[in-house]
Amino acid sequence: MGVIFVFVDGIGFGKNDKQNPFTNKNLSFFNKISNGSGLTNNFKEIRRKGLIHLKIDANLDVDGLPQSGTGQTSLFTGVNASKVIGRHFGPYPHSKIRPLLKNESIFKKVLSKGYTSHFMNAYPDIFFEKSEKKNRWSCTTLMAKSAGLQLNRLHDVIKERALTAGITQESWREMLGINIPEITPEKAAERILKVSDEYDFVLYEYYLTDKAGHKKSEQFAFQVLEKLDRFLFSINERKKEDQILIVSSDHGNLENLEIKTHTRNPVPLIISGLSRYSAVQAESITDVCRIILEILDH
């Protein structure tokens, strides 16, 4: 069995209005896995053979707006990081919760059970230069490094072993001047599915949804969502019977373009391809790590 976890930064369930880009009926994946409601307040929990789609809490019983540092740490470790430091914190992990990412991450737990893991994201040289100089790493890169996993570079993208943060590679060409071809979301999906054949657990992080939410740009939001939707739709349609697609988030944001901040809205937990383990119980993002391990064990 191969589990593909696509972590989508900053998406939640919002109002069914024009300020919520998830009401767009052209989003094939998000409409299909929500019975047409999209990520809106009209959504009703789905539990059927092959698909579980739930609303889960990202507030973690802490006041204020959820942030990426604590939200992602909670999502990837199963520990309520916001409670550990008494507040939401981000975008980078607080010093008090970095040990959780180093010692209790989903990567560490998967590997300790004898399963194999792969972190699909690739980073340009400038990322490593800045991160190493400041010794400041994101939640995903810190936990990958701490688990002994490779952080992918340009040569891994060329070998089709990794994906850039924008899925289709054009930002590396246009913004960084790196000579790699642009690919379609469908080609990116084919790449992650092929890699998933070799590993028990593969994680890919997509952060542009959060960036689009902060920008409050309807046009940018559509561009970001359209790529993501095509990518997820293609993975979902083409995955094998023994491949499970999981999608979740750390906090809300993009579902409300009226504001540029995060929201306290619930976030999705989507599990596609699960035929036997149907009794998934989840209330918050702290349950996702446990669920992934349970799926691998069944």
What is the domain-level CATH number for residue 41? 3.40.720.10
Amino acid in position 226: E
Q: How high is the pLDDT of residue 279?
A: 75
Lowest mean pLDDT among 100-104, 117-121, 235-239, 273-277: 273-277
Provide the number of structural domains found in the chain: 1
Name the residue with tokens 């998406």.
11
The 10 Å Cβ neighbour count of residue 206 is 24
In a domain, 97, yes or no: no
Q: How high is the pLDDT of residue 278?
A: 63
- CA-wise closest residue to 250 among 274, 266, 226: 266
Q: What pTM does this model have?
A: 0.97
In a domain, 82, yes or no: no
In a domain, 224, yes or no: yes
In a domain, 186, yes or no: yes
- CA-wise closest residue to 60 among 90, 92, 34, 15: 90
In a domain, 278, yes or no: yes
If you average pLDDT over every residue of the chain, what do you get? 96
Handedness of CA 283, 287, 293, 296 (dihedral sign): positive
- pLDDT of 277 > 60? The answer is no
- pLDDT of 174 > 90? The answer is no
Q: How high is the pLDDT of residue 199?
A: 98
In a domain, 86, yes or no: no
Lowest mean pLDDT among 98-107, 170-179, 211-220, 244-253: 170-179
State the average pLDDT over residues 196-225: 97
- pLDDT of 292 > 70? The answer is yes
Predicted confidence (pLDDT) per residue in 38-74, tens digit: 999 999 999 998 999 999 999 999 999 999 999 999 9
Residue 225 CA to residue 213 CA, distance in Å, equals 11
Predicted confidence (pLDDT) per residue in 121-169, tens digit: 999 999 999 999 999 999 999 999 999 999 999 999 999 999 999 999 9
**Tokens in use for 84?**
């550990």
Domain that holds residue 242: 2-65+106-297
Q: How high is the pLDDT of residue 298?
A: 84
**Tokens in use for 64?**
């204020």
Residue 130 CA to residue 120 CA, distance in Å, equals 20
**Tokens in use for 31?**
């409409």
104 Rama sector, left if φ>0, alpha if ψ -120 to 50, beta otherwise: alpha
In a domain, 74, yes or no: no
Residue 78 CA to residue 43 CA, distance in Å, equals 25
In a domain, 168, yes or no: yes
Residue 130 CA to residue 77 CA, distance in Å, equals 26
Helices (H) and strands (E) in the chain, counts: 13, 7
What is the phi/psi pair of residue 273, to 5°? 105, 5
